[in-house]
Amino acid sequence: MSLSKAIDIASVRFSAPDLQAMRAFLHDFGLRVAEDAGDGVLRMRGLGPAPFIHETVQGDAGFVALSLRVSTLAEMQTLADADGTRVEPLSGPGGGHVVRMRDPDGYRVEAVCGDVQASPLPTPSGCPWNSAARQDRTGQTKRISTEPAHIVRLGHVVLGVSDITATWAWWQQRFGLLVSDEVRTPDGDVASLFIRCDRGTTAVDHHTLNFARFPGSPARFHHAAFEVSDLDDLMAGNRFLAERGHVHEWGVGRHILGSQVFDYWRDPWGHRLEHWTDGDLFDANAPTNVTDMKTMMGCQWGPAPPGNFAS
């Protein structure tokens, strides 16, 4: 029995010395400036209803925190009581409440609840695809503009951790999560867990979190991933970012675990951010799949990962 049930990831927070440069990059990446709360924090949103999904505070560059959304204030109070902390007002557009915690590696983890959702912005509906077997577009051309991708929502965060067993116990106890894929080393040790939310019969992303041990590396943020509207949108966003001279890392390809089409970029301070589309969705009945490192790092098509990706 967990203290709460996370229903989705809510936002990620970074620090950076130049908020204007961060804003310019994030615009090119496909995020929009959120409502200004007047507290000096740069907040960006997607086209979906979350009031913001990416925050930057002024300071030395680095990953600061991630937040998960829970359903009720009662769950928030239970989380706060368990860690001897309290439910606090959440600053930023949408308001709401927050419980601030630290996981076994010291990552700042926040549970949020009760924020007022924003009006969704228009999302491109996508032009139908013709395949050899099925023609869904006749008498209609397809024209894709080269412009920033249309990010709809934050999808997942990957964290390097020092002790997967301790990390999983901490997060599962607080947020009632499920393991979609358990990745093992040849020796049988758990190297990585792909984790989804438990929303009963509602299908959710294959992974909202991933914890991984990167041999020789300290526990550190690996990447945050944002869902774009479709494959054409991802590819147009790739071209736009490339033409603007941003740092590309890996893609475009299709992962094996989670199946999503991926494209990885770096922000001006090296934080790894992913565009993705067309991922797997599972409800709570799907069993845990046990697999290996080769499968985790492989892709179904696209280039091989760069050598430093798993570090």
Shortest spacing between CB 222 and Fe ion, in angstroms: 8
The residues, ordered by sequence, that sit 6+ positions from 24 with a Cβ below 8 Å of its Cβ are: none
Pairing of strands 32-33, 62-70: unpaired
Greatest pairwise CA separation for the chain in angstroms: 64
Pairing of strands 42-45, 32-33: antiparallel
Q: Does position 177 bind Fe ion by CB under 5 A?
A: no
| Residues in 9-38 that interact with Fe ion by CB under 5 A | none
Which span (36-44, 122-130, 272-280, 303-311) binds Fe ion, by CB under 5 A?
272-280
Shortest spacing between CB 78 and Fe ion, in angstroms: 30
| Residues in 190-249 that interact with Fe ion by CB under 5 A | 225
Closer Cβ to Fe ion, 4 or 277, answer by number = 277
Report H helices in the chain: 19-29, 73-82, 164-175, 231-243, 293-297
Closer Cβ to Fe ion, 103 or 274, answer by number = 274
Q: Could you tell me how many residues of this chain bind Fe ion (CB under 5 A)?
A: 2
Q: Which residue has the CB atom at the shortest distance from Fe ion?
A: 225
Shortest spacing between CB 274 and Fe ion, in angstroms: 5
Shortest spacing between CB 36 and Fe ion, in angstroms: 29
Shortest spacing between CB 277 and Fe ion, in angstroms: 12
Closer Cβ to Fe ion, 52 or 264, answer by number = 264
The residues, ordered by sequence, that sit 6+ positions from 276 with a Cβ below 8 Å of its Cβ are: 155, 225, 226, 227, 228, 234, 260, 261, 262, 263
Residue 258 phi/psi, 5-degree rounding, is: 100, -25
Query: Given candidates 198, 227, 274, 280, which one binds Fe ion under the rule CB under 5 A?
Result: 274
Shortest spacing between CB 86 and Fe ion, in angstroms: 33
Strand boundaries in 149-246, DSSP class E: 151-160, 178-184, 190-196, 204-205, 209-212, 221-228
Which span (64-72, 164-172, 266-274, 277-285) binds Fe ion, by CB under 5 A?
266-274
What sign for the dihedral angle of Cα 310, 9, 274, 57? negative
Q: Where on the chain is the footprint of Fe ion (CB under 5 A)?
A: 225, 274
